[in-house]
Chain A
Amino acid sequence: MNTLTDTIDQARAQARDLHRKIAAEMTNQVVSADLRDAATRAESLATSLQAAAKSQQPETQQHLDDAAAALKGVASDVRSGAQAGGAELRAKSIAALNQSRDALQHISSAIAAKRSAAAKQPA
């Protein structure tokens, strides 16, 4: 199996976990250790995607770069929300959830582009 595809597939799984975690934490009014950890995980995932994007076709590269940017936004929103607390925490959590959804959209678009290219290759 293609190494890049493995990397993107793994990134997709991690981004899904991140989205689930933020969605679950949105019902809480307190900042849990899990939510704080989400910022670190989002940044790490963004770095991984940026590294994977460098040698790719322009379309795939753009999707991965966009995903990385969204994940950096997740980290920023989570950190600033955790510092503020209260209503600001909820607003930032919603923003982080939406950004993690955007990241997933870009990652799945990158996967679709790779799959489509593979399907068009002669057997």
Chain B
Amino acid sequence: MDNYVAIVFDSDDKAYQGLHALWNLDNRGDITVHGAAVIHRDQFGHVDVATKDTDPGLRTIVGVGLGALLGALAGPVGSAAGIAGASSIAAGTAAGIGAAAGGTVGLTADAVKSDEHEEAAFESGLAMQPGQAAVIAEVSEDWTTPIDTTEKALGGTVYRRTKGDVRDSSFFGDDYADYLYPYDYEPHFAS
């Protein structure tokens, strides 16, 4: 099955380990990773993408694609926020993209906490607290055990949605998958 996964960790370093562990599962043939990236939510709620330090020209467009994907991973509430953020992302600066993406995840997390019924409805939706980092990836997996077992051992919480569900709920078409790195890399956050 083709899925998008978000694996949330309490620190950047743990997320880096989670990224490498994911690619190791691919190398062993347990799963197939089509692309992955590491993101971080800062204390103000902004979300940054860890890129390779060799491609600064790609940093802006990475934010655009992942903003849509994060909204889709967060579920219906997050998707609504992602739509609202999309217009500002399209015309915004790099800082604006960070704020919009942060708003997407933040709104979802706040909505989940605001009402017990909503919490039950969206308990499987991605939620990131300030200071947390996450691995976002597109994978093919015949069973969920390899990722779940490996990433939980590193302290990660795994969220998962099928590729079909994400496509149905996204207003960005298929292109957001292109913003995930198609191989393992050493993540780097712009200072």
Contact = CB atoms under 8 A, between A and B. Distances in A.
Interface of A: 16, 19-20, 23-24, 26-27, 98, 101-102, 104-105, 108-109, 111-112, 115-116, 119-120
A19 B177 CA distance: 15
Contact of B54 (A27, A104, A108, A111): A27
A68 to B, nearest CB: 17
B96 interface: no
A89 B178 CA distance: 21
B182 A16 contact: yes
Contacts, number: 50
A98 B183 CA distance: 14
B32 A112 contact: yes
Place the interface of chain B in its size category. Answer: 10 to 19
B129 interface: no
B182 A119 contact: no
B160 interface: no
A26 B57 contact: yes
Nearest to A108: B34
Contacts of A116: 140, 142
Given A16-B183, A19-B182, A105-B182, A112 B58 contact: no
Given A24-B55, A104-B182, A109-B32, 9 more contacts: A19-B183, A23-B58, A26-B55, A101-B182, A105-B34, A108-B33, A108-B182, A109-B140, A115-B32
